[in-house]
Structure 1
Amino acid sequence: MNRILYYHPQSNFSRKIRILLAEKQIPYELKEINLMNKPPSFLEVSPIGKVPVLVDEDGTTIWDSSLIAEYIDEKYPEPRFYPADFRERLECRKWEELADTLGNKIISLWILNLTNKENPTPYQLMLEQSINYLFSVFEKELAQTEYLLGGEIWSIADISALCSFDYYNLRFNENWKLDYPHLKTWFDQLHQRESVYSTIPQSKQ
């Protein structure tokens, strides 16, 4: 059977896996899911009802972007996006989780703003504050290193983070680049890669 990735074109978590598969040059078939009207066939492979979901050639089915990414990196290890060393791997997972948390907060803020943009609730304001704080955390780290784990090699942590920042661009704006110069340099540099540039999410008209 063909390898299948169930996805949504604007999903930062789907994009995370698309970039990883492209970098490893792993062929796959894309199946777009309407998240507002999920077909029963999709819910059979994704009990949590979220994208992405990977169905590998042998039928192995995995949901959750971090579980998928780890599975892909273990099964198809060249090039590697998780460090082999235990402590370095732990550090990578911490940054990946932080990046995914940022992405989830941005999604939540955008959804709330759809119905309540003019009079934000305390929770919306708290989300904005939390997002801005996480931006500063990434800025502080990238002021010291070229990539989130240091050195000259990017990792799944960088992929996860850039997908979250690009999702912010999609739903809000790119004004953050004015306040976070090291983030901007890192972000623009990664967007020179074909796997990144070709998967930039586009707004639906």
Structure 2
Amino acid sequence: MILYYHPLSSYCWKVLIALYENAIMFEPKMLDDPATAQAWLTLWPLGKFPLLRDEARGNTVAEASIIIEYLGQHCPGPFRPIPQDEGAALEVRLMDRLFDNYVMTPVQALVGDRIRPEGVPRDPYGADQARATLKKAYAVLEERMRARRWAAGEEFTLADCAAAPSLFYADRIEPMRRGFPALSAYMERVEARESFARVLREKEPVWHMFPFANG
């Protein structure tokens, strides 16, 4: 297994959590090396990461949620990303979409606005809309997760692989811990879980590159 990734990408963190949960052996390849980047683009010309290359099966797997499901099928372990129960599985997939579409998407918009090249005007209206979306998402997630230990219920799933990085980044841009006690308690639990704690430790050498690292 080869994972093409960037150490600050929330979607790469999403896959890393799943890999670490089941102690799956893989070769990480950062995209700062030109040869690695070229190999990645040859496999996936759309130029998005993370990307998993399963050499043993001859498969190239794109998109974080699909990669995690693929790992669940071919590298099973105690962590089950998708429950067997159909209703529970739908809830996991819904929560995965909520975190990706309504937390990480506005976060990416705000990061993109912050790092615009010199001479390119910022988009204050778009930034305000992104922050408004985050606040709405916090309220919806607070209510939905109020009685849950993990993002979709009592078991750690794909939904948590999405929740942990998206909420971690969002909280640095639009703080939520004081106003949303259920989300705050969830973040304390998930940051203490070894799979995500490892991701957070590994980001430290490059964390200064995140434009909101210092607020």
TM-score tier after normalising by the smaller chain length? 0.7 to 0.9
1:91-119 Cα offsets, whole Å, 9 max, x none, are 21111011111212201111113349x97
- Identity percentage of aligned residues: 26
Cα displacement (A) at 1:169: 4.3
Q: Is 1:164 equivalent to 2:166 in the alignment? A: yes
SS of 1:178's equivalent in the other structure is: coil
Which of residues 117, 121, 125 is equivalent to 2:124?
A: 121
Aligned to 2:39: 41
User: 2:126 aligned with 1:131, yes or no?
Assistant: no
Q: CA deviation at 1:35?
A: 10
Scaled by the length of structure 2, the TM-score of the pair is 0.84
2:9 corresponds in structure 1 to 11
Q: Following the alignment from structure 2 to structure 1, what is the Cα–Cα distance between the partners of residues 35 and 48?
A: 12
Report what 1:145 is aligned to: 148
**Contact 1:54–1:62 (CA<8 Å) still a contact in 2?**
yes
> Structure 1 pair 35/66, CA: closer, same or farther in 2 (3 Å)?
farther
SS in 2 for 1:88: helix
Per-residue deviation at 1:43?
0.6
Segments of structure 1 that go 5 or more residues without pairing to the other structure are none
Q: How many pairs are equivalent?
A: 199
Q: Is the 8 A contact 1:113 1:120 kept in 2?
A: no
In the other structure, the counterpart of 1:105 is 106
> Which residue in 1 is equivalent to 2:208?
204
- In the alignment, the residues of structure 2 paired with residue 20 and residue 125 of structure 1 have an alpha-carbon distance, to the nearest angstrom, of 33
> CA RMSD, aligned part only?
2.4
- The SS at the match of 1:48 is coil
Q: Which amino acid aligns with 1:50?
A: K
**Structure 2 contact 51–60 (Cα < 8 Å) conserved:** yes
Per the alignment, in what secondary structure is the counterpart of residue 178 of structure 2? helix
Residues 126 and 22 (structure 1), Cα distance of their counterparts in 2 relative to 1, 3 Å cut: same
Distance in 1, Cα, partners of 2:150 & 2:97: 16
TM-score computed with the length of structure 1 as normaliser: 0.88
User: CA–CA distance in 2 between the matches of 1:37 and 1:106?
Assistant: 30
Q: Which residue of 1 aligns with 2:185?
A: 185
CA separation of 1:38/1:121 partners in 2, compared to 1, >3 Å: closer, same or farther? Answer: farther
Report if aligned partners of 1:5, 1:54 keep a CA contact under 8 Å in 2: yes
Correspondence list, 1:82-93, <5 A:
82-93=82-93
Q: Does 1:25 align with 2:27?
A: no
Distance 2:107 2:33 in 1: 17
Shift of the alpha carbon at 1:185? 0.6
Residues 124-172 of structure 1 show CA distances to partners (whole Å, capped at 9, x for unaligned) of 2111101111111111112122222223x111101201110112245x3
Q: 1:66 to 1:111 in 2, by over 3 A?
A: same
1:55 aligned to 2:53? yes
* CA distance in 2 between partners of 1:35 and 1:168 (Å): 29
Q: Which runs of structure 2 are paired with 1:60-75 in the superposition (5 Å)? A: 60-75=59-74
Deviations 1:38-93 (CA, angstroms, capped at 9, x unpaired): 83221111222111000113231111101101111111232212111222212211
Contact 1:8 1:51 (C-alpha < 8 Å) held by counterparts: yes
Which amino acid counterpart does residue 30 of structure 2 have in structure 1?
E
Deviation at 1:36, TM superposition (A): 11
